[in-house]
Each structure stands twice: as C-alpha cells, then as structure tokens.
Amino acid sequence: MAALAPPRPGRPFWPSRVSVRRRDSARGGTRKRIRTMSDIRHSLLRRDALSAAKEVLYHLDIYFSSQLQSVPLPIVDKGPIELLEEFVFQVPKERSGGGGGGSQTKRLSSLQELQLLEIMCNYFQEQSKDSVRQIIFSSLFSPQGNKADDSRMALLGKLVSMAIAICRVPVLECAASWLQRTPAVFCVRLAQALVEDYCSPVPGSIQTLRQIFSASPRFCCQFITAVTMLFDMSSDDLVPPPDLLEMVVSWIFEDPRLILITFLNTPIATGLPIGFLELTPLSGLIRWCVKAPLAYKRKKPSTSSALLNGKGLAKEAPEVSEKRDGQPLYSKLHLSVLQVLMMLQGHLSEKNLYGRLGLVPLDHVVSLVEDIGRLADELNPLNASKETELALDRLAQALQVAMASGALLWTREDLRTVCSRLPHNNLLQLVISGPVQQPAHTSLPPGFYPSIHTPPLGYPAHAALPAHPVQTFIPGMAFPYRPVR
C-alpha cells in the first residue's frame, strides 16, 4: 500500500467545514444534517483500509462537534463505536457475543499500521478543540467489553508510544484523561506496553520517555500511578526496572508536586470509584519505599552474602550492592513522599476534604503491613534484620506523617490493631503509642490522630533534661545560663 501523500504546505490536514459544505453542494445538495451511520458505513466499505480509517475519524469529528454545540457532554451511542471497531480496529461487523464462526479479524500490515498511527497523531495534534479531542479519544479507546478490546489496547499502546517519541502533547493529555476514567486493569496494560517499549529494548531509550516530564506533567502523574500498581513488588519479576525507578525518582525529586497534579485539578467527591486508579500515586510509592529493602533482599541469590567461589577470594563490596539494588534512590524517593504528605493538609483543607477524604486508602495500608510481616518471616533465615529494621522505620514515618496530615484516616486504635503482628521496631512503637491526647479540636473529627508535635504517651510533659536553666546573680534579675565552651 502506497504511503499517504503529506498535506500541502499551508493547508490543514483535515478538511474544514466550509470545504465540506462546498463538496457536498457540488454533489447535489447542501449538507444540513450529518449522514446516518449506515450511509457512512456504505461509503467507507468502498475505500481501502487507510483512507476508510481516516474518513471515519473525519465523520466522527463532524458528528461530535455538532453534538457539542447543543449538549456539553454528548452520549456516545453504539453507531460510532461500531464504525471505529470495523474501520479502525479492523474487527468485522458480523461479530457476535456468542463467539461463532464467520469472518475473521482483518489485520493491517506493519507499514499500514504505522501510517494509521501517523493519521491519528496528526488528527489529535491538529484538532484545536479539547472537548472534541477528548470525546474522539474516548470513543476510540474506552473498553467496551468485547473482542475488539484487545485490538483497541494494542493500538493505544502504540499510539501513546509514538506520541512520546515525537512529543505529541495533545495525545499525551488525552491519554492522561483516559487513565483517569478507565478501569485500572486496562491502565496497567498500557503502562506495561510503555515500559516494554522504553525500559527494555535499547540502552538509553528511557531518555525519550524522561523528556515528557516538562511536556505533559498530567500524563507523567497518571503514568507513575499505573506503574506503581503494575510493579507492586509481590514477586521478583514485579520489582521496578532500574531505569524506570531512576526516572520516576528524578521526576518526583525535581518537583514533588507532580504527585498531586491529578488530585489538585480534579473535582472530587468524598467517595472515589472502586477499580480505578487512585487520585495520586502516594500509596504505590509508599509501597515501593517500604518494601524495597526486603524485596531486594529476597531477590538476591542465597549465596550473595557468601564468598564468591567458596574459597574466600573476595566479597561483593557493600557500596556496589547498594547501588545495584537502588537503595539510595529509594531513600531519596522516601524523602520526597514525606514532603508531599506534609503538603497535603493545606490542600485538603482548601478543598474542604480534610478528615473526609483519605488519599492513602486503608486497604492498601493493611495489605502493605501484611506483606511486610510475611516478607520479614520469610527472610528471617537469611539474617535480614537490617533490612527489616529499615522497612519498618520507613513504614512508621509514612504512617505518622500520613495520619497527621489527613491523608490516612486512621485512629491510634486502628494502627495498633493492624501493626500488632509486625516485628518489634522502636520507631513504630513510638508512633503506635501516639501523642498525648489534646483537648477536642474543632477542626478535627472525633478520634482523629492529633498533632505529631506533642510528647508521646508515657513521657512526662517536661522531659528529664529541662530547657536552659536560669541562675540568679542579682535578686530579682534573671540571666540565662550559658555553659563555658
């Protein structure tokens, strides 16, 4: 199939409304209404695959642009979806839910698929109305629960990958919205496709993905959320690749507010939908930081701490092992996450959600605590006391700051119950004991975790070492005591 001719300089890739009216008038009548989907389908059947795909996008652009003039959010009915599935995703119309025989799915050649991706990239780049772009993107790639979904997801992964490679910001912005309103299982599939494209095949390809940080922060935030869900460290295969980890840490360390972009720019109700990505990647990033010491200890061969050849010739240098395991990066990430948690109290108060919306879900924390306890038990024979201590320290810090800032809606009793089976850790015990209960605060709900800046239970109000003592030299006049240096 010959490549499509590029658009002539100075002329738009997609025909204007005026040129459409002129063309229709020349064919025998001024176009006042959009043709029915059946009429459009019959005309598309006479075209080759690429021109039909381009034409169906063009017709749907006119269709939804017309609807958006009368209603703010048009309903995408079955007709446009069937046209897209037949002429873009190459799924024949004679499909049925019963899975019977008949015609099989057509396939584009590699060259045709690349040309189709270019057509779609150009369309989204040149469509100036964001509302039209978003509804076309949603019509194309929202899962429908049928056999076209596999083709839909495969083409979406390639389209977003191309948009990253050539920096097509409108496509990335549409993908960010798609990630926000699509069930998480599909979001993870898209994240997996992008990781395979940019974190595996060619050394240095991660730099192409890294550059979109300044181009589309919204997409980066949603991508991090999906990636932390994909790589949950539940097995050695689900530990984040080193290049991906380094990129995510560099993004967040450069601007920790990146984590909050979706939350700050989304109208929020107190009840979040189940089965979708979280508003922030906070819970996933906390999981990474807390589980990392034990997950990498589990990932090492059992002989990693032994002598290399059994004859005492050499041992692996600790600093080399740390660098390979990415532990300095996880420490850097942990600091950034704590900084973001400390910002949250003001943002939650501004949205009138303080004490009403927990951005760190309770079930995620319960699952994390269970994983830490299980990992600590499994690694006990490997002498993982150092790694267990570090994991529990990070868990305690994250819980303390999250509860104090309102990101985690737990009481001290909840904390004691969930953490009761974990190995002993001094910092965690201090957090579990909690600060001294203050008088009721009007801005806090009953039983809410009070300020972290008060002394913990079991300690006197004034510590054993008082503040600077005062020594009186002249009656009635006090001087601060300054020790001799």
Structural contact between residues 139 and 81, judged by C-beta atoms closer than 8 angstroms: yes
Mean pLDDT of 233-252: 95
pLDDT at position 326 is: 82
**Least confident segment among 11-25, 177-191, 336-350, 352-366:** 11-25
Taking each helix axis as running N to C, give the angle between helix 110-126 and helix 130-141, from 0 to 180 degrees, rounded to the nearest 10: 150
Residue 402, Cα to own-chain centre: how many angstroms?
A: 19
Between CA 380 and CA 208 the distance in angstroms is: 41
* Per-residue pLDDT tens over the stretch 273-308: 789 999 999 999 999 999 999 999 988 754 344 434
pLDDT at position 34 is: 47
pLDDT at position 465 is: 39
CB-based contacts of 176: which residues, under 8 Å, 6+ apart? Answer: 216, 218, 219, 221, 222, 262
pLDDT at position 457 is: 37
The three-state secondary structure class of 128 is: coil
Q: How confident is the model at residue 104 (pLDDT cuts 50, 70, 90)?
A: low
Q: How confident is the model at residue 210 (pLDDT cuts 50, 70, 90)?
A: very high
DSSP string, 265-322: TS---SSPPTTB--SSSHHHHHHHHHHHHHHHHHHS-TTTTS-SSSSS-----HHHHH
pLDDT at position 76 is: 76
Between CA 265 and CA 282 the distance in angstroms is: 16
Q: How confident is the model at residue 91 (pLDDT cuts 50, 70, 90)?
A: confident
At 464, give phi and psi (nearest 5°).
-65, -30
* Per-residue pLDDT tens over the stretch 312-329: 444 445 554 555 568 999
pLDDT at position 475 is: 39
pLDDT at position 313 is: 40
Model confidence pTM above 0.85: no
